[in-house]
Structure 1
Amino acid sequence: MANQSDHISKRIQKFIAKQKIFFVATATEQSRINLSPKGMDSFRVLNEKKVLWLNLTGSGNETAAHLNENGRITIMFCSFEGAPNILRLYGKGTVIHPNHKDWSKSIDLFPKLAGTRQIISIDIEMVQTSCGMSIPYYEFKGERLELDEWAQKKGEDGIRQYWKDKNESSIDGIPTKIQEGY
């Protein structure tokens, strides 16, 4: 039932554009596997071999730590309405901070959101679709605004302090290099 390809087809790009939630998974050889749900308007397909994800401030920064170590990343989308489908994008990810050469051309692709932490650039190695026939239907009712409101209240200085306090290393003690990126 699974189909594999080395690129994101136009049909798959349309599927991605309709999704309201996706999941990000990363790990190093020694770390715990990190699997996180993501939402908001934070995912872009640049072409059939490259995607970007706008990473916002969160309780941890596991993805950056893991990508700095080995670059391995998987993104998963599930169809919660319409035809069943599960899509996985396997690739190598790079963390882009404001001092990175690609920041200015990448950040303008996203809405301005408080708490923007970094952009994850992913070079696609494999695209896999599978049936998703066991995935239940869910109705999208709207975006949660709490993260954006929290980040706005903290302000830029408060966010940077939060990064220092909570985002400099993973739960396994792997450095995220967040302070080097600003």
Structure 2
Amino acid sequence: MAEKFKALTEKHIGFIGNQHIFFVGTAASEGFVNVSPKGMDSFRVVNNSKVAWLNLTGSGNETAAHILENNRMTIMFCSFDKQPLILRLYGHVKIIHPRDKDWPSQVKLFPEYTGARQIFELNLELVQTSCGYAVPFYELVGERPTLRKWADNRGRKGVEEYWQEKNTKSLDGKDTGIIETV
């Protein structure tokens, strides 16, 4: 039932464009494995072998900590409507922070978000589809405005202060790289 591809096909790209949620999986060499749901308008197909997603400020920063130690990532999309399908993207990732020279050109791929924290560029090594027959039906009611409102109320300076308070270490105590050290 599963099929493997070296790169995204037009059909895969169309499927991704219709999804409102994706899941990101990462792990360091030791400690907790992290799986995070992502939404909002934060995912882009750059080309058939590269994707990027904008990471927005949240209560943790596990993905960034894991990538500093082990730059492997899996992104999973799954259909919750008519046609069942699971699409997984496997590869190695590069982190782009607001302080990096690539940030201004890369952040233009996305809407403006006060809480923009990092961009993760995933170079694809394997694309896999599977049936998704056991995935239940769900209907999208709408996007939650809560995260955007939270960041907008704090302002960019307040968001960056939050990074200092809550986003510098992972659950395992690993550095996340959010604050540049000299």
What TM bracket, shorter-length normalisation? over 0.9
Q: CA deviation at 1:95?
A: 0.9
TM-score by length of 1: 0.97
2:95 paired residue number: 95
CA contact (8 A) 2:29 2:69 kept: no
User: Could you tell me which amino acid in structure 2 is paired with residue 135 of structure 1?
Assistant: V
Match of 2:127, SS state, is strand
- Pairwise CA distance, 1:99: 2.5
Which residue number in structure 2 is paired with residue 85 of structure 1? Answer: 85
**After superposition, where does 1:128-139 map in structure 2 within 5 Å?**
128-139=128-139
| Corresponding residue number in structure 2 for 1:16 | 16
Q: Match for residue 31 of structure 2?
A: 31
Aligned counterparts of 1:165 and 1:98: Cα–Cα separation in 2 = 18
What is aligned with 1:50?
50
1:68–1:94 contact (8 Å) kept in structure 2:
no
Q: Which residue of 2 aligns with 1:179?
A: 179
- What pairs up with 1:86-125 in 2 under 5 angstroms? 86-125=86-125
Deviation string for 1:102-129 (max 9, x for gaps)? 2122111100012111111110010000
Question: Which range moves more in the overlay, 97-106 or 56-65?
Answer: 97-106
Aligned residues: 181
- Report the identity percentage: 54
Structure 2 unpaired stretches of 5+: none
Alpha-carbon distance in structure 1 between the residues aligned to 2:6 and 2:69: 24
Structure 1: any 5+ residue segments left out of the alignment? none
Aligned-pair Cα RMSD in Å: 1.0
